[in-house]
Each structure stands twice: as C-alpha cells, then as structure tokens.
Amino acid sequence: MSRSAKPARKTLSMQWLYRPVCSRHDKINIVNPVPLPTSRTAVLLLAIALLGGCAGGIQRPDGSRTQREYRLANLAKSDVDMISELTQREVLAGLRLLAEKLYRRNPQEYRKAGLASPEAAAARIFAAVDKGPQGPLAFVNWREGLQQAFQEGFAGDRVHVFMLSLTAMIMAAYDYKTEFYLTDSLDAQKLYNSARNIEVAVWKLSNARLANGQRMLLTNSMEGEVQNLSFEREFGKLIARQDLLALIMEDRGSRTINRIMHNVASFVFLPI
C-alpha cells in the first residue's frame, strides 16, 4: 500500500476516543473528543453505580421487598453496621406481623381503644420506633409492661401493652437507634439477653390464663382447631436473629457473652 494511505489508517484507529454523531445522511462524523475520567473517579463512579443498582431484593409473602436504596451515608458504615441494620429491620417487621396476628386472634383488644382494624392498632405501636434514644419508646418501662399485660384485673389493651413493651425491650438492645456507623458498637450481651427475654415473654403469652381457665390472649390453635403454629415460628425467627447478631458482635469485640441458664417459667427478665 502507498505511503499516502498511512495517515488515514492512523486517524481511523483513534476514533474510539471520540463520540460518534449520526448526520442526516447516516454518516459518522467525528466531533470534539470526550475527556476520559481519571482512574480514581472512574472506580468511585463504578462502585456507586453497582451499589445503587443491586438486585431487587427478596419479595416477602405480603408483597414487600427486602431491597433498600443505596445512600452516600453507607460509605460511613462497616459491613457489621449494615448487618445490624438489616437484622433490626427484619426483627421490627416480624414484631409488626406478630402484633397484627395477635389483634386478629384477639379483636376485642383493639376495640377497647376504639380502633377500627388490626393494622391501625399495630401502627400505633410502631409509630415511635425511629425517634432515637430520646424518643418515647426509650421511656417505656418494658419490664412492668410485660407483667401488666398478664395481670388478672387489667382492663386495657393487652396486645398493645405486650407488644409495645416487647418492642421497647428489643430496641433497648439496639440502643434505640435505627442507623449504625463506624463509631457505633452494639453490646453482644444485651442482644443475647433480649433473645432470652423473648423466650420468657413467649412462654407467658402461651400459658397465661384467667381465673376461670380462659386464655388471656389467643395465639396458636385451640383444642379442636386445625393446628396452627405460626406464632411460634415468627417468635422463633426473632430469637434466632437476635442470637445470631449477638454472636457477630461477640466475634467482633473482645467481650465474651455470659450465657446464663434461665428458667422461662420464672417470668423474670434479664437486664438490657
């Protein structure tokens, strides 16, 4: 090939650096070059794109999804912080589900407060979850509330008192926070104790009866009904999630969990 053709080949080999634009005659014209980003900028943009466009998450039976939006604040979170938030989110979702199920089994309870549905009654319990350490949930006496819910002469909404107190106890193990950063560190012992307290509360919920033998709150199936152990399964998930996060925190720090032998029938709660 002649020497005069070489410059043309060199020009064509550099076209990938330029943005092609189609003319009205469908021919490719070469316009001004597009500046290429530096390697550091490119890596950062790629990371944000990947984190922001992750898979759509897991779809729950109620239609909701586990996916959450990526935020720049996540850059100040460790993997353990994100695990803590995800665990807490699933625990709170489980508590809300249990509250609604308890109200459906015991509709007389939400009617005491003049509410129209189990969903409305459950929403009232979780309205202050994200208010932080100075929110109203932090001032709930959860020990007293869990005991009051099963007192013979209590005339109030037993489900509300029980689930509000249980939620306050569990949130105490998270220091009443819903977001965690590099400077935060959850106490493994508190998380472990909260799991044991759930076991105590569940035992009481399943066995508490009035003087006439009638159950204070209906949960699993009664005698003669089709077997339904959905309450036990949901409470079991709560216990397992709190225990797993306690193990993660124990492994992360240097403090060993004091695994206390605890009799659930004593109806005595461990400190948080």
DSSP state of 256: P
Residue type, 221: S
Is the per-residue pLDDT at 4 higher than 60?
A: no
Q: Which residues sit opposite 21 in a β-bridge?
A: 29
**Lowest model confidence (mean pLDDT) among 77-81, 108-112, 222-226:** 222-226
Beta strands in the chain (DSSP E): 18-22, 28-33
Rg from Cα positions in the chain: 28
pLDDT for residue 66: 56
Higher-confidence residue of 26 and 228: namely 228
Query: If we measure between CA atoms, which residue out of 57, 13, 19, 59 comes closest to residue 35?
Result: 19
Higher-confidence residue of 222 and 161: namely 161
pLDDT for residue 17: 41
CB atoms within 10 A of CB 157: 23
Under 8 Å between Cβ of 142 and 168: yes
What does the pLDDT look like over 50-67, one tens digit per residue? 444 444 556 656 566 655
DSSP state of 8: H
Q: pLDDT-based confidence at 253, cuts 50/70/90?
A: confident
Is the per-residue pLDDT at 187 higher than 90?
A: yes
Q: Give this prediction's pTM.
A: 0.74
pLDDT for residue 41: 58
Is the per-residue pLDDT at 110 higher than 60?
A: yes
Is the per-residue pLDDT at 24 higher than 80?
A: no
CB atoms within 10 A of CB 167: 23
CA distance 171 to 260: 21
SS3 225: coil
CA distance 74 to 145: 36
SS3 58: coil
pLDDT for residue 167: 98
